Chains A and B, each alone.
Chain A
Amino acid sequence: MRSIEEQEHENEAMESYLSFKLDDEFFAVDVKKVIEILEVPGITSIPLSPDYMAGVINLRGKVLPLIDTKVKFGLDPIEFTVDTCIVVIEIEVEGEVLQIGTLVDAVLEVLEVPQSSIQPSPSIEAKYRLDFIRGMIRREEDFIMLLNLDEVFSIQDVMYMQEANETMSSEELTEK
């Protein structure tokens, strides 16, 4: 016997999210934005790029920029293990659709959740920038943070960080 609530969910549009892990926290992205999931191949790093830009990889003849999602979220740089994966996602940047690879600690599963069970992100917990989080999904004990991809990986942000980096490095230079 299914509960009324579940039946209601049945009638509602279900949405799919891919969940993954960074350190011990859970995140999820809209499956529609995910192109594929890769094992980590050889990475070519590009000199003098910001820390969270992990380099480029060869994705079947295309050069795919790679982002260390952990650095981007203010965590320690990723350490490569057997579980480390690249989630290739599609985002819209400056009116153009781009593909980028995001490094994550582990890919977990695809969740089917009804729209209504997505809760707004609590504004109190300001551990991550709020415009990065689209909402939260409750899963047993854990909360999964639903990412707003276009915002997380926007180039403006990249440029901003870049400038900060450059001023820092030039300051370092003058100090020397």
Chain B
Amino acid sequence: MENLHNVYLEEVEDLFSRIEESLLLLEKSPDDPALIAEVFRSMHTLKGSSSMYGSNKVADFVHNLETIYDRVRGHEIDLTQPIIDATFKSLDHLKKIVQSPDIPDPIDAKYHEKLTADILGLLDEYSGGATIVKSENTSRKSTYFVSFIPDKNIFANGTNPLLLVDELRDLGASRVYTKISKGLTSKEADPKECHTSWDFILVTEEDENPIKDVFIFVEDTSKITIEKVADVDLLSISEFTSKLPSNDLNAKPPTLKEIKKWASAIPKDILERVAEEVALNEEVDDTDKDEKLQRSHTQEEAITSIRVSSDKLDELMNQVSELVTTQAGLSLYAENNFDPLLNAIADNVEKLSRQLRDIAFEMTLIQISNLFRRFNRVTRDISTQLGKSVKFITEGGDTELDKKIIDSLADPLMHLIRNSLDHGIESREERIKLGKPEKGTIKLSSYYSGAKVYIQIEDDGRGIDAQKIREKAITNRLISKDDDLTEKEIYDLIFMPGFSMAKEVTDISGRGVGMDVVKKNILDIRGDISVESKVGKGTKIILGLPLTLSVIDGLLVKVEATSFIVPLVDIKKCFEIKREELSNDFNELITLEDEKIPYLDLRKEFLIKDDNPPEKASIILLENEENKIAVCVDSIVGEYQAVLKPVGKYYRNQEFVSGATILGDGSIALVLDAYKIIARKIVKQKKSA
């Protein structure tokens, strides 16, 4: 039962967010029939699942809402702001009561009744003045004459003209006349040639283009004539159809001229009557179509996506990595055993496992729109609370990221958007005074660039004054008066832990509350964050994120017998040196390209027994925004694509190891966290100083 409840909650959660998303769009374009249909459908499903789960209170509640949207859909009532507001309120309430559908809390129960009454009130208000509005864009049916004379050699291309005929008939009601080339006797006829041609009288809602599209691949060689005969459905007019010859091979098919003549001979009043009938049938047609749409919609969904628990995906990834590892072993064995057959098999296995790996990796990615959707609603609520009017735009929602990254982005993004709303965007009056558009804009966008995904939060608010930050940082003793900082460095100050903006500065910029936490969260998923801002114009915050947490490009290095992976993104350069160059230096500084850089010898640092260090060593230059550190290892093996695996809670204190990966021979390499290694060195330096 518990499990059932979870499934139910998961499903309704999904429906809620879908309804919310559509409603937000509907606020902008309240007439969009597709959106209204979507809301109605989702409510319908919500009602269905609720009563199936047994929460009748929820089902009854949704039923009333559904009725409203049914009427909106049927053009009986217009979708007004009060309806949308009431729906939002109801959704919030529903979210609460689905947790415990019996509504045990008396306050909730009271609210439940009030909302129900509100909705019924809305229903009454509108159903009184219900009128049937004729939709304006009544789809007009037209009658076309189409003649299709295929090229004699059409079969040689593998084209079956009958399929084209069928395709054309799918466009609408039709009469088809088949013609056989004149004077053709069965003796002369070459069975490999096409001697048949077709004439159609086609009634369709489409214009000429879809008809042309049917013949798109044969239009160069075959003779095709398309001509509009009338703007009405001629085939439904008996005065017209009675003149048409019967549909058998011996009857003489009507020519275009004849058809036109018959069409013009139809009395005007009959034409008008037909047109009216069409308009009246519209209503029925529309609901019909909606139902069809709904059916096709649900069908599509059932086929295109399935729910899989993330545990299962993790397990799949494990198995795939294991397969890749096993395959590396097989390839190695095949290479050493000069057996051509074995070699071929090994190659094949390698190819297959690589494909499988790519597919499995792709499966763990989800679209960032899942996350963006959440902010839509929040922005709406907060801006109403603050009495500001804000346009929230999202772009690039189809960008895909590892699920784990998306999960850990929710909080920091929330924080940044709230900051923009609260401190960035000015009040309506202020914006008018400044000559800015009354509505503020916050744009949340994401895009790929190189091996990274970028997320931007951009507002057109008041911006951050770099000078003020500088002053503040000096009073907070984060920097000294004489420090010469670039603009970027100044903006980076707002991510410092000690940088909390006091009230008087809040009026000008106000950011900085908890920004250090935001930065920490982003660093935790191996991302970076930066700020660009212009006073009076707005602020842009850019997050750079790795595509996935599960695979990283790294450099495989060795220290004694242990393999380590250093993430490639953090590496600036590599050098080869003689070990004695290090041992002579007391300050632990090494000169690389005329620059003195502090170094960390991993042999010493990791207390590896110093029996017989190799003469040569390699230096890896690590760099983050602030520091450069040289790390000394025994040797560099090469680049390696590492599948990251956690080393587990037992090694929680060895935080410089961010994970482990399994190498081709089945042994394990430790993935180093460059940031933590740099931090380690900095702490050491400070201690010794």
Contacts and interface: CB of A to CB of B under 8 A. Distances in A.
Instruction: Specify the main secondary structure of chain B where it touches its partner.
Output: mixed
B317 to A, nearest CB: 9
Contact of B647 (A46, A61, A155, A166): A46
Nearest to B650: A65
Contacts of A166: 653
A47 B668 contact: no
Interface stretch (A28-36, A52-60, A122-130, A139-147): A52-60
A117 interface: no
Contacts of A63: 645-648, 659-660, 662, 668
Chain A interface size, as a band, is: 20 to 34
B217 interface: no
A100 B325 CA distance: 21
A27 B646 CA distance: 30
A95 to B, nearest CB: 12
A47 to B, nearest CB: 3
A46 B657 contact: yes
Nearest to A169: B607
A8 B436 CA distance: 91
B606 A57 contact: no
A47 B668 CA distance: 13
B318 A48 contact: no
Given A46-B654, A61-B662, A63-B660, A98 B649 contact: yes
B319 interface: yes
B660 A56 contact: yes
Contacts of A61: 318-319, 321-322, 325, 645, 662
A65 B608 contact: no
A53 B650 contact: yes
A158 interface: yes
A45 interface: yes
B94 to A, nearest CB: 31
Contacts of A115: none
A16 interface: no
Contacts of A155: 649-650, 652
Contacts of A48: 606-607, 654
A98 B650 CA distance: 10
Interface in B642-688: 645-654, 657, 659-660, 662, 666-670
Contacts of B384: none
A93 B649 contact: yes
B562 interface: yes
A162 interface: yes
A94 B652 CA distance: 13
A48 B672 CA distance: 13
Contacts of A2: none
Contact of B322 (A45, A46, A60): A60
A42 B645 contact: no
Interface in A49-108: 49, 53, 56-58, 60-65, 67, 93-94, 98, 100
A159 interface: yes
A44 B562 contact: yes
Given A61-B322, A63-B660, A45 B562 contact: yes
Contacts of B318: 60-62
Contact of A94 (B649, B662, B669): B649
B272 to A, nearest CB: 76
Nearest to A96: B649
Contacts of B563: 44
A162 B651 CA distance: 10
A98 B651 CA distance: 13
Interface string B396-409: 00000000000000
Nearest to A62: B318
A132 to B, nearest CB: 17
A46 B651 contact: yes
Nearest to A45: B562
B313 to A, nearest CB: 14
Contact of A42 (B606, B650, B652, B666): B666
Contacts of A53: 650-651
Contacts of B607: 47-48
B679 to A, nearest CB: 15
A100 to B, nearest CB: 7
A44 B666 contact: no
A67 B662 CA distance: 20
Question: Which residue, of A41, A46, A93, A166, has the highest number of chain B Cβ atoms within 10 A?
Answer: A46
Given A62-B318, A63-B660, A159 B647 contact: no
Interface string B297-322: 00000000000000000000011011
A93 B648 CA distance: 11
Contacts of B645: 61-63
Nearest to A61: B322
Contacts of A60: 318, 322
Contacts of B670: 44, 46
A166 B607 CA distance: 13
Contact of B667 (A58, A64, A65, A98): A58
A65 B650 CA distance: 7
A58 B654 contact: no
B563 to A, nearest CB: 8
A166 B648 CA distance: 19
B649 A162 contact: no
A93 B563 CA distance: 29
B654 A49 contact: yes
A46 B652 CA distance: 11
Contacts of A44: 562-563, 660, 667-670
Contacts of A58: 325, 662, 666-668
Nearest to B662: A58
A62 B666 CA distance: 11
Interface string B552-565: 00000000001100
Contacts of B668: 42, 44, 56-58, 63
B662 A162 contact: no
Contacts of A159: 652-653
A82 to B, nearest CB: 21
Interface in A127-176: 155, 158-159, 162, 166
Nearest to B324: A61
Closest 7 CB pairs of A and B: A61-B322, A47-B606, A44-B668, A65-B650, A65-B648, A63-B660, A63-B645
Interface of B: 318-319, 321-322, 325, 562-563, 605-608, 645-654, 657, 659-660, 662, 666-670
21 contacts: A41-B666, A44-B670, A46-B647, A46-B654, A48-B654, A49-B653, A49-B654, A53-B651, A57-B668, A58-B666, A61-B325, A61-B645, A61-B662, A63-B645, A63-B647, A63-B659, A63-B668, A93-B649, A155-B649, A158-B650, A159-B653
Interface of A: 41-42, 44-49, 53, 56-58, 60-65, 67, 93-94, 98, 100, 155, 158-159, 162, 166
Given A48-B606, A57-B668, A60-B318, 15 more contacts: A42-B666, A44-B668, A44-B670, A46-B657, A47-B654, A48-B607, A49-B654, A58-B325, A61-B318, A61-B319, A63-B645, A63-B659, A65-B648, A100-B650, A166-B653
